[in-house]
Structure 1
Amino acid sequence: MRNARQIGNLVITSDNSGAIGEKELDVVHVPDDVTSYYSTRVTLLEQLANQAIPKEIILLNFTSEEAWGKYITGINRVFEEVQIPVPAISGSTETNMPTLQSGFGITMLGEKQRPLPNLSKLHWFTYGRPLVGEQLLQNVHQIANLQIIVEALKNQHITQVIPLGSKGLQKELEQLELIDVVDVENVPYDSTASAGPSTMVLIGVTAEQVANISKILQHDLHRLK
C-alpha cells in the first residue's frame, strides 16, 4: 500500500524479481511463468490495497526473448484465477546483452475505485504464512489465497487487504502506524520474518464483518485486533 504512487486517479504499483528463474546461476530455480505469477500477484495486491483495479501492465524482461511468452503466461494465470480482465500488456526485453541470471519487473497502472478506509478503526487479522524462496515452493498451501481475497472484497466480506513483503509483519505495522493498536506478541510465527511475495497479508474488517471472517478465510488466520 505504501509502495504505491498515486497521480490523480491513477495508481501505480510495481514489483521485481532477480536471480529467480530457469538460468543456471539463478539462486532459486523455478519456471519463468512461476516467477511472473508471484510478482504479478504482489503487484495486484498492492492495487487492491489502494482500492484500485489495474488497467495497464508494463513488463520489463532482462532474462531472454524466449522468457517473454512464459512471463505473459504467469501474468495471465493471476488474472484468470481472480476473474479480472487481463489488462493491456506492453514492455521491453533486453536483447543486446546476455545476462547470467534472470531478471523480471512489472508495473501496473490502475484506476482508483474508492477512497481508503480509516485503518485505525478496522479490526485486523493476518492471513497466510511468511514464506520465501524454497520454503514457499514447499508450502504453497499455506499462502494467502488470492482468489478468496478478491471474492471477499467484491462481496464486501472484508474491507481492506494489505500485502506484506520482505520486511515482515512488524515493520509493516510500524509503517502503517498500526503497531500500537494491535497485538503481535502471540502470533504463531516470527513477526519479523520475510513474507516473500506477499504470502501473508493483513486483512482489515469492520465490526460487522468480524463474525464471518473465519468462515471465509479458513486457514492460517490470526486475529491482531
Structure 2
Amino acid sequence: MIAYRNAIQLGDWIVTTDNSGGIGEKMDDLVAVPDQITARFATRVALLEQWAAGAEPVAVLLHNFSGNASWHRYCEGIRDVFDEIGITMPPISGSSETNMSLRQSAVAVTLMGKQKLESSESTGDWYTYGTPLVGEEVLTKESEIASLTVLDEARRTGLIQRLWPVGSSGVLAEWRAATGNPDCDAASPLDVTCSAGPATVVLLQIDKEKLPNAKRHFGTLLHALR
C-alpha cells in the first residue's frame, strides 16, 4: 500500500484530518444541516485517508469551535461512521472553544491510526466509485455517494489494490496525484474537474482478473478511467 499524500506518517502512525466551516446549525451558516451530519462527513474523509495509507484508526481528536452544545452532536456524527462499518468507535478527546462565540459553525476531526499494510507497488486499472457531489447535493443524492461499508469489504477481501479519496480538487487532479502522471488526462462519464465535497467519490485501482467481481460488488457507481 502506498501512503496517501494527505496523511502524516510518523513511524507506523498515520494522522489524517478534515474540517468544515460555515456548515451546521448556526444562523449564519452557509449550509444548514445538523451538527451530527457535519461531523459524520468530516470523519468520513479522515477515515478514507487512513485507509488510503493502509492504516486503521485507534483514536479521535475533535476540534469544536461551535460551542459546548455542539460537542455531543459532533460525537454522535463520528460514532455514525464507525457504526456504518461495524467497528467500535475509538476513544475521543479534544476541546471546545467556549471563550468566544462564533457566528458560524466550525469543526475539525483528526484520526490517529496504526499502519497495518506496508507500502508496495500495485498494478491494475483505475476506476471511480461514487459521484462527485458538493453542498446540498451531498444530502439530496446520498444514494450516489461511495459507501464506506462497500469499500471496507472490498479492501478487506483484497478486491481492490489501492484506494484514493477525491476531494475538492476533483477526480482528474487526484488521479494525476495518485498515478504520478501530472500531464495525463482521464476520460470518464463523470465530471472529472468538479469538487467531490466530502470524498463522495473515490479512485480505486483494480486488478484485471478481479474486475468481474468488482463490478458485481460496486454496481453501477463503478466507472472506468481511461
Place the TM-score, normalised by the shorter chain, in its bin.
over 0.9
Q: Map Cα deviations across residues 65-87 of structure 1 (whole Å, 9 max, x no partner).
A: 01000000000010011012211
Aligned residue number for residue 193 of structure 1: 194
What does residue 167 of structure 2 align with?
165
For the 8 Å contact 2:39–2:107, the answer to whether it is kept is yes
Equivalent in 127, 131, 147 of residue 133 of structure 2: 131
Give the structure 2 partner of residue 52 of structure 1.
55
- 8 Å CA contact retained: 2:172, 2:185: no
Figure out how many residues of one structure are paired with residues of the other and give that number.
223
- Structure 2 Cα separation of the partners of residues 48 and 39 of structure 1: 15
Question: 1:177 deviation in Å?
Answer: 3.2
Q: Which residue of 2 aligns with 1:102?
A: 105
After superposition, give the CA deviation of every residue in 1:152-191 in whole Å (9 maximum; x if it has no partner): 1112222221110000011112222354798622x12221
Percent sequence identity over aligned pairs = 41
Q: Distance in 2 between matches of 1:214 and 1:103?
A: 38
Q: Aligned to 2:34, which of 31, 36, 40?
A: 31
Q: Is residue 164–residue 178 contact of structure 2 (8 Å, CA) maintained in 1?
A: no
User: After TM superposition, where is structure 1 displaced by more than 3 Å over at least 4 residues in a row?
Assistant: 177-183
Give yes or no for the alignment of 1:150 onto 2:142.
no
- What does residue 114 of structure 2 align with? 111
TM-score between both structures, scaled by the size of structure 2: 0.94
Gaps of 5+ in 2: none
Instruction: Give structure 1 stretches of 5+ with no counterpart.
Output: none
C-alpha RMSD of the superposition: 1.6
Distance verdict in 2 for CA 1:158–1:112, change over 3 Å: same
Aligned to 2:207: 206
Equivalent in the alignment of 2:24:
21
Q: Which amino acid aligns with 1:11?
A: I
Residue from 6, 10, 17 that aligns with 1:7: 10
Secondary structure, aligned partner of 1:147: helix
TM-score (norm 1): 0.94
